[in-house]
């Protein structure tokens, strides 16, 4: 695949299930999962291929309306629409974590209408106290047992340790890829980076690592720099289509860092590799996934804001972002509750901030172009004045 | 000068004498909290269903239930300014209207330095601590986090997770109990350290015993509703739930349900129904109530329909396995887990879904002719699944289902006229469905 790795990633991004279906035809078992919380290491260690379930903002909604109410998160409704249309029929099992109300409640419906495929529910605590890790450990052991039945084999500790290593390597490669946007102008666009990150969730990890190494080398060898623009830190929930990023970048800006459910939130930290691998998975998935569905408290409001959003300040500093845009999925309660605090916090850091409440559909995003343009113009004017 | 228009009545006319006492209980709760503040005693703002009622009672902390305040504001038609305040501060109009109401109240409290004059029941007294929880929905822990912008008050959130139906409950039971007992121990430590009070375990055990009796008596009241005619409609149940859900460890709450039970028993024995001619028996099959328009229950009654059962605040049957449990916190947790899992094995053997299994059983037990579900615009956790439940119900039952659409608090997109029109249409279907059933079976 010399010289074509990025093109290959874009191809996977455009037809995410292609490789998974090929692997299925070769006898591999493919396990679908929602959100950042199901430990992919457990799946890989049991020789199951992890496959992140996402929606399709280009897919017209026609059938899910008869099953899921219109005031429910449009991403969840969209995923179920795809399921009804058979887009996920190749999966051998599905893991649905209790990441938020909508995903949790989807579980019963998904299970009921996909009876031939096992659906596993994983309870993920929202609040971190002393006893939380023990509980989550027990939940992961329960999940392990279910996955062992699906895989038809027992999990060996050395296989799990090895899976943690290769997934850590995967995370490190994705971080390296993301840091190709550190220079000004960046070596790759935000749109490209997001496409790669999304493609990465549809490939076996070893295969993905090879592809990522190739992409990094290809991008490093680029001779033509991208045009320089306002450097945007993108924050938000489920973006699994580059269309929104394209809108921002087509306005002349560079999305230099994105903290999303599908991107950096999943790979910015690694799983520790000390004595007990299951405990390490517990720590990683509870502590390191910075989703607002997890309550992070502090001794007072100021320290709590640091606990919740301090990492965004670090991203902005490292990637030299000059403004932040939040993609807040409409009807996503945990993100919507955070919006006023996030705005306060980032504004106090001197980072111009724009919160967009967005529906999970392409037509809704197109309508945002003018507002994004206006925001970026105001950022540019402010930069000139200062 | 134009004449002042008479105020439109939006609360429901209740059927039982005891239900008419319920609002006095609510007002007394808010008054107790106001007195506590004046006397320098601790007040906790609390979410319902966080398993802390007995602990607060034992520690002498007066609770204020902020979701209940949302319901009261909706019923008294004073919520809108609070909703506007929250929205003006950047909280999306899509967010839970209980939360927006509560946040807006705090914003006004902070801006004026006083309890907003329109606040019903004298308003919510200033809290010493906040106790949220993860059970039921995400807004129940995110709302209090959001209050951190306005209130410098210590906050503890209790994690309460329901075991999934795909798990073997006996296999997971112990670690669910251990975890949630640890959560409650954490709550006790939090209260002890922030309030400078120690929990007396003997007093806690006494509170737990009273709460268990209260819950049992409330459940027995629900059982009496199987009678034909039904002695208590849902609008009464939605008022009478207050002592059980908010203050079960108080002897006055137990006495409230003893009175209610006696009243219902008398009505059952003497065949006293809600309306003179109970033609159709309805089941409130999902969703929180439209607190702003509880009069719709009377509208069903005007068409011969009585809501004889409801799922939303169903107290659950008594948990018998706590009898030998000497740890009061574990007793609380076991009782709650029993409530969560009561239908699990039956659903696994039956239709496969816990909610629908309950509805199906109640259709038989309560002789149901129609089911009402309330899709609340901002209460996603209470609304998600209703279409699914209806679809699964259809596979097992011919009982018709009505969806009412409004909100728990926010009336800005609610139309009473169109709701009544859909009720009219629904009741015609209920009537014809019942006629067909009687025709086919040969008896009523």
The answer to whether the CB atoms of B182 and A130 lie below 8 A apart is yes
The first and second tokens of residue A201, run together, are 């969730």
Q: Is B408 helix (H, G, I), strand (E, B) or coil?
A: coil
Q: What ipTM was predicted for this assembly? A: 0.95
DSSP B319: -
User: Which residues 206-225 of A have a C-beta within 8 angstroms of B?
Assistant: none
User: Looking at residues B24-45, what average pLDDT do you find?
Assistant: 97
B284-294 pLDDT, tens per residue?
A: 999 999 999 99
**pLDDT band of B10, cuts 50, 70, 90:** low
Q: What is the largest CA-CA distance in chain B?
A: 72
User: Which residues lie closer than 8 Å to B202 by C-beta, 6 or more apart?
Assistant: none
Contact of B94 with chain A, judged by CB distance below 8 Å, is answered with: yes
Q: Where are the beta strands (DSSP E) in A243-352?
A: 254-259, 323-329
- Across the interface, whether the CB atoms of B383 and A71 are under 8 A apart is answered yes
Instruction: Summarize pLDDT for B69-101 with one digit per residue, the tens.
Output: 999 999 999 999 999 999 999 999 999 999 999
Reading the block at residue A223, the tokens are 């001779």
Can you tell me the distance from the alpha carbon of B128 to that of B39, in angstroms, rounded to the nearest whole number? 13
Contact check, Cβ <8 Å, B384/A340: no
Least confident window among A270-284, B148-162, B428-442: B428-442
Task: Give percent of chain B above pLDDT 90.
Answer: 93
One fold for A5-158 and A161-385:
yes
Per-residue pLDDT at B172 exceeds 70: yes
Give chain A's mean pLDDT. 96
At residue B68, the pLDDT reads 97
For the sheet with B305-310, list strands across it: B305-310, B280-286, B370-376, B401-406
B122–chain A Cβ distance below 8 A for any pair = no
What average pLDDT score do residues A349-367 get?
A: 91
Cis amide linkage into residue B336, ω under 30° from 0: no
pLDDT of A53 strictly over 60:
yes
Is the pLDDT at B3 greater than 90, yes or no?
no
Mutate to test the interface with B, among A114, A135, A327, A358 (most CBs of B within 10 A): A135
Distance from C-alpha of A214 to C-alpha of A211, rounded to nearest angstrom: 5
Is 0.80 surpassed by the pTM of this model? Answer: yes
Per the CB < 8 A criterion, the answer to whether B368 and B309 are in contact is: yes
Annotation: CATH topology of A161-385: Rossmann fold (3.40.50)
pLDDT at position A363 is: 85
- Give the position of tokens 């350290």: B193
* Distance of alpha carbon A149 from alpha carbon A42, whole angstroms: 13
Strand order in the sheet with B155-158: B62-65, B43-46, B129-133, B155-158
C-beta separation of B123 from B140 below 8 A = no
At residue A228, φ and ψ (nearest 5 deg) are -80, 145
Which 329-368 residues of chain A touch chain B by CB within 8 A?
330-331, 333-334, 336-341, 343-344, 355, 357
Q: Is the pLDDT of residue B4 over 70?
A: no
CB B197 within 8 A of CB B191: yes
CA–CA gap between residue B76 and residue B57 (Å, rounded): 28
The answer to whether B183 contacts A67, with C-beta atoms less than 8 Å apart, is no
A116 to chain B, any CB pair closer than 8 A? The answer is no
Which candidate from A105, A126, A338 shows the least CB-CB separation from B134? A126
Euclidean distance between CA atoms A286 and A126, whole angstroms: 8
Contact A56, A78 (CB under 8 A): yes
- The pLDDT tens digits for B228-265 are 999 999 999 999 999 999 999 999 999 999 999 999 99
The residue ranges of every structural domain in chain A are 5-158, 161-385
pLDDT for position A224: 85
Tokens for A139?
């939940």
* CA B15 from centroid of its chain's CA atoms: 19
Confidence (pLDDT) at A211: 98
Question: Which phi and psi angles does A133 have, rounded to 5°?
Answer: -70, -40
Nearest to A76 by CA among A46, A51, A108, A44: A108
Q: What is the pLDDT of residues A92-138, one digit of tens each?
A: 999 999 999 999 999 999 999 999 999 999 999 999 998 999 999 99
Chain B residues inside the 8 Å CB shell of A333:
95-96, 137-139, 142, 380
pLDDT score at B159: 97
Q: Which two tokens stand for residue A219?
A: 């991008």
Fold of domain A5-158: Rossmann fold (3.40.50)
> Do residues B248 and B261 touch, judged by C-beta distance below 8 A?
no
Does the pLDDT value for residue B220 go beyond 70?
Answer: yes
Mean pLDDT of A323-349: 96
pLDDT score of B156: 97
Q: Is A68 exposed, middle or buried (0-12, 13-18, 19+ CB in 10 A)?
A: buried
Name the β-bridge partners of A234.
A258, A325
Residue-level pLDDT at B443: 54
Structure confidence at residue B49 as a pLDDT band (50, 70, 90)? very high
Tokens of A238: 């489920």
pLDDT band at A365 (very low <50, low <70, confident <90, very high): confident
Residue B214 C-alpha from the chain's centroid: 15
The answer to whether residues B219 and B190 touch, using CB atoms and an 8 Å cutoff, is no
The mean pLDDT value for A245-252 works out to 96
Burial class for A224, CB neighbours closer than 10 Å (0-12, 13-18, 19+): exposed
pLDDT at position A19 over 80: yes
Name which of B269, B365, B265 is nearest B314 in CA terms.
B365
Closest alpha carbon to B414 in B139, B77, B13: B77
For residue B22, the SS3 value is helix
Instruction: Please tell me the predicted confidence (pLDDT) of residue B438.
Output: 84
Q: How confident is the model at residue B1 (pLDDT cuts 50, 70, 90)?
A: very low
* CA A99 vs CA A145, A295, B138, B157, B419: distances in Å: 21, 12, 10, 17, 34
Q: How confident is the model at residue A1 (pLDDT cuts 50, 70, 90)?
A: low
Give residue B2's pLDDT. Answer: 41
């Amino acid at each position: 695949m010399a010289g074509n790795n990025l093109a290959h990633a874009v191809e996977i991004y455009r037809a995410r299930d292609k490789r998974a279906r090929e692997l299925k035809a070769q006898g591999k078992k493919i396990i679908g999962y929602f959100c950042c919380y199901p430990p992919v290491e457990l799946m890989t260690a049991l020789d199951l291929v992890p496959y992140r379930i996402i929606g399709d903002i280009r897919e017209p909604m026609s059938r899910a309306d008869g099953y899921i109410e219109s005031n429910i998160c449009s991403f969840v409704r969209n995923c179920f629409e795809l399921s009804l249309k058979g887009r996920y029929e190749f999966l051998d099992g599905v893991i649905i974590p209790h990441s938020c109300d909508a995903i949790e409640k989807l579980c019963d419906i998904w299970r009921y209408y996909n009876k031939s495929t096992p659906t596993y529910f994983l309870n993920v605590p929202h609040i971190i106290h002393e006893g939380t890790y023990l509980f989550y450990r027990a939940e992961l052991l329960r999940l392990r047992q279910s996955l062992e039945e699906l895989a038809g084999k027992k999990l060996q500790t050395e296989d799990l340790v090895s899976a943690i290593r290769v997934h850590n390597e995967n995370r490190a490669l994705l971080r390296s890829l993301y840091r190709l946007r550190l220079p000004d102008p960046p070596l790759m666009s935000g749109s490209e980076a997001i496409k790669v990150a999304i493609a990465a969730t549809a490939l076996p990890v070893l295969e993905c690592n090879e592809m990522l190494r190739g992409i990094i080398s290809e991008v490093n060898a680029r001779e033509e720099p991208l045009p320089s623009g306002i450097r945007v830190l993108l924050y938000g929930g489920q973006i699994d289509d580059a269309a929104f990023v394209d809108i921002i970048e087509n306005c002349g800006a560079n999305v230099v860092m994105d903290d999303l459910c599908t991107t950096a939130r999943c790979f910015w930290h690694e799983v520790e590799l000390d004595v007990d691998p299951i405990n390490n998975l517990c720590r990683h998935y509870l502590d390191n996934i910075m989703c607002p569905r997890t309550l992070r408290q502090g001794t007072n409001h100021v320290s709590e804001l640091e606990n919740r959003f301090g990492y965004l300040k670090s991203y902005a500093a490292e990637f030299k972002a000059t403004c932040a845009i939040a993609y807040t999925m409409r009807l996503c309660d945990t993100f919507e509750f955070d919006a006023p605090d996030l705005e306060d916090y980032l504004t106090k850091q001197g980072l111009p901030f724009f919160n967009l409440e967005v529906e999970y559909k392409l037509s809704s995003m197109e309508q945002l172009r003018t507002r994004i343009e206006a925001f970026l113009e105001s950022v540019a004017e402010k930069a000139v004045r200062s | 000068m134009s004449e002042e228009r008479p105020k439109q009545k939006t609360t429901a006319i209740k059927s039982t004498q005891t239900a008419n006492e319920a609002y006095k209980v609510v007002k007394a709760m808010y008054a107790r909290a106001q007195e506590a503040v004046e006397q320098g005693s601790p007040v906790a703002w609390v979410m319902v269903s966080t398993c802390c009622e007995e602990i607060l009672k034992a520690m002498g902390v007066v609770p204020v239930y902020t979701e209940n305040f949302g319901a009261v504001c909706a019923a008294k038609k004073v919520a809108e300014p609070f909703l506007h305040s929250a929205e003006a501060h950047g909280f999306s109009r899509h967010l839970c209207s209980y939360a927006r109401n509560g946040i807006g109240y705090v914003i006004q409290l902070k801006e004026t330095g006083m309890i907003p004059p329109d606040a019903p029941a004298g308003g919510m007294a200033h809290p010493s601590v906040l106790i949220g929880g993860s059970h039921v929905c995400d807004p129940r822990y995110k709302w209090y986090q959001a209050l951190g912008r306005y209130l410098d008050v210590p906050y503890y959130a209790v994690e309460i997770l329901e075991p999934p139906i795909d798990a073997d409950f006996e296999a997971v039971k112990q670690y669910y109990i251990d975890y949630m007992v640890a959560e409650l121990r954490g709550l006790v430590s939090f209260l002890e350290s922030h309030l400078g009070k120690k929990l007396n375990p003997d007093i806690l055990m006494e509170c737990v015993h009273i709460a268990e009796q209260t819950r049992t008596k409330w459940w027995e009241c629900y059982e009496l509703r199987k009678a034909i005619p039904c002695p208590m409609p849902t609008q009464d149940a939605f008022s009478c739930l207050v002592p059980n859900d908010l203050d079960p460890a108080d002897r006055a709450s137990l006495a409230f349900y003893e009175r209610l039970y006696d009243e219902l028993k008398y009505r059952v024995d003497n065949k006293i129904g809600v309306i003179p001619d109970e033609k159709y028996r309805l089941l409130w099959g999902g969703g929180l109530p439209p607190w702003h328009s509880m009069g719709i229950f009377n509208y069903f009654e005007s068409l011969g329909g009585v809501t004889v059962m409801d799922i939303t605040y169903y107290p659950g049957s008594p948990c018998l396995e706590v009898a030998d449990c000497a740890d009061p916190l574990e007793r609380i947790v076991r009782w709650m887990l029993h409530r969560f899992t009561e239908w699990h094995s039956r659903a696994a053997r039956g239709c496969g879904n816990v909610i629908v299994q309950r509805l199906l059983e109640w259709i038989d037990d309560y002789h149901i002719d129609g089911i009402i579900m309330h899709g609340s615009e901002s209460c996603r956790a209470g609304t998600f699944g209703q279409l699914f439940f209806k679809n699964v119900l259809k596979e097992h039952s011919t009982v018709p289902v009505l969806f009412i659409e409004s909100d728990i608090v926010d009336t800005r997109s609610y139309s009473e006229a169109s709701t009544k029109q859909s009720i009219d249409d629904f009741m015609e279907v209920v009537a014809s469905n019942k006629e067909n059933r009687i025709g086919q079976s040969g008896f009523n």
